[in-house]
Chains A and B, each alone.
Chain A
Amino acid sequence: MSAMNRKMIQTLAETISKQVEHFNKDEVQCLIRAYNVLLGEQSVSGRAVPGLDRGKFRSILHNIFGMTDDMIMDGVFRTFDKDNDSFVSMKEWIQGLSVFLRGTLDEKIKYCFHVYDLNGDNYVSREEMFHMLKNSLIRQPTEEDPDEGIKDLVEITLKKMDHDHDGRLSFTDFEKSVREENLLLEAFGTCLPDSTSIESFEHQVFKEQVEQ
């Protein structure tokens, strides 16, 4: 890359690192580079794109962080894509990863809730839960209603988490539940990477910096 480009990245990194919580300037630089590489892979045609599109982002989630659930991956994309323009911009990428990789519990609660709030109405409804959990149980063909187990699971979950008893989870409900029992953070599907994939990703991205 040209020297100018490098200069540009440096200044960019400086501004972004001030806005982002968990990365220092050097790390931001690395992330920018990684972003550019990913972006480059995507823009085969050569024309400029405003950011990572859904497909590319999902393949990143799948390949690097081992996620499989389409719905959850869509949710993660939606959460990264703060301005809702169907692209994850560089800034969104770095801000998202800050929580994704190194977020505090508070940040992660917000993040997860946003992922699970499929329609963005600030509530996780029964239907949304059902939707997210529908593949989580082995269906027993012998049963009359194969979805009965899921429905029951949703009810059990609601009973546990719906503190204000309005039949849906508000952010307050969710936050309270997670604080009571941390295991409920990813209650409706894995939307955060596990420690090994975080390690390998960071290793891969930040190592380059050391080499340079």
Chain B
Amino acid sequence: MGLSLTRAAQWTPASSGTGKLESTPMNESLLKEILSFVEQFGSQHPHEALHVFQEPLQWSTTLVASDFKTDYDISDSDVLSSERDSEGLPLLQLSPPTVKVRSFSQLSKLVHLAEDKKVEEVQACLEENRYPLVKILGSSVASILQREDTDTDVLSLVDKVKDQGKDSEVKVKLFLLLQNLDNKLLSKCLEEIAGKVRLDPTAVKNEVDSLKQSSIEGEKRVLKSIRYTSDYTFSNGCRAPPWRQVDGEMCYLVIEPCDTETLCVTCSTAGVFVNGGVKQEGEESGYVRTSDVFKDLRTLLKSRSPHFAGNINTQDFAVQEPPSAQNVQHVEPVDAEEQGQPQRSYEQQEKNVHEKARLNKAGGEKKYEPCPRWRNLGLASPCGEAGGKKHSKSSGEEKSDEIQKRKLGAGAKGKMKAELSASSLPGRLSSPKIKTPAGSMPLDAFSESSSESEEEEEQPERRQESNTDLPSEYWQIQKLVKYLKGGDQTATVLTLCAMMDFNLMQETCQLAIRDVGGLEVLINLLDTDEVKCKIGSLKILRKISHNVQIRRAIVDMGGLQSIVRILDSPVKDLKALAAETIANVARFRRARRTVRQYGGIKKLVKLLGCVPDLASLSANQAKDVEVARCGALALWSCSKSTKNKEAIRRAGGIPLLGRLLKSPHENMLIPVVGTLQECASEESYRIAIQTEGMIKDLVKNLSSDNDELQMHCASAIFKCAADKPTRDLVREYKGLQPLVSLLSKAGNKQLLAAATGAIWKCSISIENVAKFQEYKALETLVGLLTDQPEEVLVNVVGAVGEFARIPANKAIIRKCGGIKSLVNLLTGTNQALLVNVTNAVGACATDMDNMAIIDQLDGVRLVWSLLKNPSAEVQSSAAWALCPCINNAKDAGEMVRSLVGGLELIVNLLKSTNNEVLASICAAIAKIAKDKENLAVLTDHGVVPLLAKQTNTTDDRLRRHLAEAIGHCCMWGSNRVSFGDAGAVAPLVRYLKSKDKEVHQSTAMALYQLSKDPNNCITMHEKGVVKPLIHIMGSDDEMLQEAAAGCVRNIRLLAMANRKAVLFN
């Protein structure tokens, strides 16, 4: 009760000592729950109900003496219960308006008496007794019990409180009952919260936005400022760090009321409260709740700031205006702006930006793109922020946010970076809008659209405000773009140079350039004849094109065509810059296609022609090398599309790349090897890499000291080494040792994945495995079987599987503890990994000692259960792995039987349509059927007709194992006859015509088994089995000879018996 009352119940501000429970639906349901608990307490727990409270629960009641009936001593207005405690004091005492109750039985009676006012009574009781537990049990016991509340063992609790009084047992029971109620209440609250979320990121955002609106309006303003502590919005709309989100916290605000000190506020799903001061993420102490929980910010602020409470009402009126139709009015100009009209006046543009931001919101599609945020930040709700910014600037908080930003910027990588960089400017601190799909916006309370319609009406005022609101960079860039538009060559170059001084890697600046129409101008400059302007423009474009949205915008505006055209320029600087820009822009498919369609691939390949490996270069040659490097960078980006790979090859790029591969410079080698590595997914490239002698250079660069280069080289070898000649070349050029030494760089997972991949593929050649063993590769690999990301594990396990083909290695794997790691990996879900793991386990299981360990770790069961995996590849590799397991397990038959449903599972897989699965299952069945009891079970599950059904296959691999399975399954009951009946004999005879020796062997065995049934002999004879069998008898394989001869013998015996029968009858 304590918990749910303090945490979940929604208290009104406790300004005057005792709080009031608000009449919210949640509280009402809480009250009802408590009420029914109290009502039934007397009847359900009569013993505990008699327990006398340590202190009476006391509240002002509306009951009067006349409400009380029997069992009460009524004198005037006062009432005493006739029920008394051991000292003779009444358990209920009413002296209007106060009532004191000292036991649950009395409480329960009281609520019965109160009848229709009982809810009010309970509410009053709870409001005036904020800590009922303490009063009921006494403070010392309550605190002990609460401390132990995780410990549910009643006896130990009783022990703990024994010395607190003789009736401790009752107290504990009472406590447990109350705690039960508490839990029930809490879970009810949770249900309620889950059902109808009281606060979600959208609601909070809306409220913050609307407060921002109202916080700057002159004398009426209610707050000095309100801002988020973090600008980074997670995809779920929360701003709190993930580990706090777990607790339901969504964001933290710093609010400066007009009349009191700054408040640090946490918005959580349960409500809002003042925290210990979360100014920066990472200070755990700051998250502690230091106030009651309020249902929303307004309520919190009303309680904290009288000024706010006094003024907000007038505001509320304005905010609650319904959304106006104006939202729709500006839709048209948006499209115009999208197309980018550089000459549009600033005012109009700004207006459009509003509209665009709103559209984005409504569309929902671009939900989390930072770009509209940019707009929103200042433009869409500018009037809300001016105040906020002023203050955050003046206080030291700006600094702390800057620090935070930097910290985040350094720590976060990849995707997050782009998002975070957006938060770099002070003006952004209060960036208010989290994009939400329009549908999820609640229409009540602080509707966003209503505040926006307000904006529309107040345009002139707001525009002025917004000027002060955007980061200064925005205005500076806008000014520069204006000069770009209206300047001659000299002014343009100067302006471009000035623009380069901005931090163009920062999203704020990147998007500012786009938003003020600078991108169009920059792209237009590319089509002029002014070399210097083009250089300047490209120098900017190559930087800002690191931004995803800018890249798309460049392509949308047709800028990529212009850039591709520049690749033909005679000016080397221009070519290099253009190629570098393409390298950035061509990160997405449409851009890569554009490059190809405008002939960019050919032009880029042409850039590669230079002499990279000269010892000393003239200035001119050095420039050529730089051009080639940029060209390689661009090709690297482009090579991520299959068609471009082909285009590069057709343009003659491979030999040029091969030449650049001889360069001594890392910055050249990385894009070159990167491109080759990317293209090596194509057969044609793999052959070229092998035949043009690039393996040698790739191997050489494996020993470079640049991780990235090593990674790409290893990755290229990984992809190429699927071909045997390449594997041999890698060995020849002594590439195996550097590969093994890369395994020590376990910190760089990408590198590790590439290196292990290369080792895996190289180890397909048994000679390579032997070589690898000289460098103790296996020991290292086994060490990498744990605690690695999946992409590494797949390769490591693959390699271990290949290594395990050599008997000596099986023992090494065991000695290094690899078996256990492998078996552990069997529980994974990654299919590629499972295929490799089952492979490796199968390979290891061929060793008896290994098998013992696998068996002990229950590995067979795990492998077996992988037969249920939906992937055919996993199924078959698991079935293959089972074969040696069954072969080598100590008590295989028993083990197989112990797997409940296992045999049925395996028989059912014979219905698969995948030949590899069928073959593997047949192989497994052949092994299983060696145990007679299991064969009986298999037969019961209908293995015979299923096998017979497959006999018409022409797949030699399947034929071999199928014949083997049939041969083994003949050994039970009437299975031979059944096979004959199912028509399995005739197709088997045809198998003898196969060219595969292995097929002959297993077929001969099967035929031998089948020939023990006379009818089968007749069929065989009819199908002309004798001749090929006689031929097979001449084989040098004794088993084969024997089986063939045995079969012929059976046929012959039958014939003789026949003749005898004819002769003697």
Cα A159 to Cα B308 with chains together (Å):
46
Kindly identify, within residues 150 to 181 of chain A, every residue whose CB is under 8 Å from any CB belonging to chain B.
Answer: 152-153, 156-157, 159-160, 181
CB-CB under 8 A for A190 and B494, given A153-B483, A160-B501, A183-B535: no
Taking the complex as formed, is B1055 at the interface, i.e. its CB lies under 8 A from any CB of chain A? no
Taking the complex as formed, is A75 at the interface, i.e. its CB lies under 8 A from any CB of chain B? no
Interface string of B536-572 (1 = CB under 8 A from A): 1001000000000000000000000000000000110
Residues of A with C-beta under 8 A to B536: 183
Residues of B with C-beta under 8 A to A100: none
Q: Which of A6-14, A44-52, A134-142, A204-212 contacts B (4 or more CB under 8 A)?
A: A134-142
Taking the complex as formed, is B1054 at the interface, i.e. its CB lies under 8 A from any CB of chain A? no
B488 and A153 contacting across the interface, CB-CB below 8 Å: no
CB-CB under 8 A for A194 and B490, given A152-B479, A181-B500: no
Closest to B499 in A: A156
SS class of chain A's interface: helix, strand, loop or mixed? helix
Partner pick for A135 among B488, B498, B500, CB 8 A cutoff: B488
Taking the complex as formed, is A96 at the interface, i.e. its CB lies under 8 A from any CB of chain B? no
Q: In whole Å, how far is B532's beta carbon from the nearest beta carbon of chain A? A: 6
A140 and B493 contacting across the interface, CB-CB below 8 Å: no
Cα A135 to Cα B532 with chains together (Å):
19
Q: In whole Å, how far is B498's beta carbon from the nearest beta carbon of chain A? A: 5
A136 and B487 contacting across the interface, CB-CB below 8 Å: yes
Closest to A156 in B: B498
Q: In whole Å, how far is B342's beta carbon from the nearest beta carbon of chain A? A: 13
B483 and A187 contacting across the interface, CB-CB below 8 Å: no
Residues of B with C-beta under 8 A to A133: 490-491, 494
Cα A132 to Cα B494 with chains together (Å):
13
Cα A188 to Cα B488 with chains together (Å):
11
Taking the complex as formed, is B80 at the interface, i.e. its CB lies under 8 A from any CB of chain A? no
B498 and A138 contacting across the interface, CB-CB below 8 Å: no
Tell me the count of chain B residues lying within 8 A, CB to CB, of chain A: 25
Taking the complex as formed, is A202 at the interface, i.e. its CB lies under 8 A from any CB of chain B? no
Taking the complex as formed, is B497 at the interface, i.e. its CB lies under 8 A from any CB of chain A? yes
Residues of A with C-beta under 8 A to B489: 190
A157 and B486 contacting across the interface, CB-CB below 8 Å: no
Closest to A154 in B: B494
Cα A132 to Cα B489 with chains together (Å):
13
Kindly identify, within residues 571 to 590 of chain B, every residue whose CB is under 8 Å from any CB belonging to chain A.
Answer: 571
CB-CB under 8 A for A181 and B497, given A149-B483, A153-B483: yes
Q: In whole Å, how far is B538's beta carbon from the nearest beta carbon of chain A? A: 11
Interface string of B496-517 (1 = CB under 8 A from A): 1110110000000000000000
Taking the complex as formed, is B637 at the interface, i.e. its CB lies under 8 A from any CB of chain A? no
Q: In whole Å, how far is A84's beta carbon from the nearest beta carbon of chain B? A: 26
A137 and B498 contacting across the interface, CB-CB below 8 Å: no
Residues of A with C-beta under 8 A to B486: 137-138, 140, 149
Most buried by B among A132, A149, A156: A156
CB-CB under 8 A for A136 and B535, given A149-B483, A181-B497: no
Residues of A with C-beta under 8 A to B501: 160
Kindly identify, within residues 101 to 151 of chain A, every residue whose CB is under 8 Å from any CB belonging to chain B.
Answer: 132-133, 135-138, 140, 149
A137 and B535 contacting across the interface, CB-CB below 8 Å: no
Closest to B486 in A: A138
Taking the complex as formed, is B495 at the interface, i.e. its CB lies under 8 A from any CB of chain A? yes
Residues of A with C-beta under 8 A to B482: 149
Taking the complex as formed, is B119 at the interface, i.e. its CB lies under 8 A from any CB of chain A? no
Closest to A136 in B: B491
Partner pick for A138 among B480, B487, B494, B500, CB 8 A cutoff: B487
Closest to B493 in A: A183
Taking the complex as formed, is B531 at the interface, i.e. its CB lies under 8 A from any CB of chain A? yes
CB-CB under 8 A for A157 and B487, given A152-B479, A186-B532: no
A137 and B483 contacting across the interface, CB-CB below 8 Å: yes
Taking the complex as formed, is A184 at the interface, i.e. its CB lies under 8 A from any CB of chain B? yes
Cα A184 to Cα B480 with chains together (Å):
16
A186 and B479 contacting across the interface, CB-CB below 8 Å: no
Cα A153 to Cα B495 with chains together (Å):
8
Cα A183 to Cα B483 with chains together (Å):
17
Q: In whole Å, how far is A161's beta carbon from the nearest beta carbon of chain B? A: 9
Cα A194 to Cα B535 with chains together (Å):
14
Q: In whole Å, how far is A67's beta carbon from the nearest beta carbon of chain B? A: 12
Partner pick for A187 among B488, B494, B571, CB 8 A cutoff: B494
Cα A138 to Cα B486 with chains together (Å):
5
A190 and B487 contacting across the interface, CB-CB below 8 Å: no
Q: In whole Å, how far is A60's beta carbon from the nearest beta carbon of chain B? A: 21
Residues of B with C-beta under 8 A to A184: 493-494, 497
A156 and B500 contacting across the interface, CB-CB below 8 Å: no
CB-CB under 8 A for A157 and B493, given A149-B483, A183-B532: no
Residues of B with C-beta under 8 A to A136: 487-488, 490-491
9 new A-B contacts, CB < 8 A, other than A137-B486, A181-B497, A195-B531, are A138-B486, A149-B486, A160-B497, A160-B501, A183-B496, A184-B497, A187-B490, A187-B494, A189-B490
Interface residues of A (CB under 8 A from B): 132-133, 135-138, 140, 149, 152-153, 156-157, 159-160, 181, 183-184, 186-190, 194-195
Could you give 17 example pairs across A and B, Cβ below 8 Å?
A133-B494, A135-B488, A136-B490, A137-B483, A137-B487, A137-B491, A149-B486, A152-B483, A153-B491, A153-B495, A183-B493, A183-B496, A183-B497, A186-B490, A187-B497, A189-B490, A190-B489
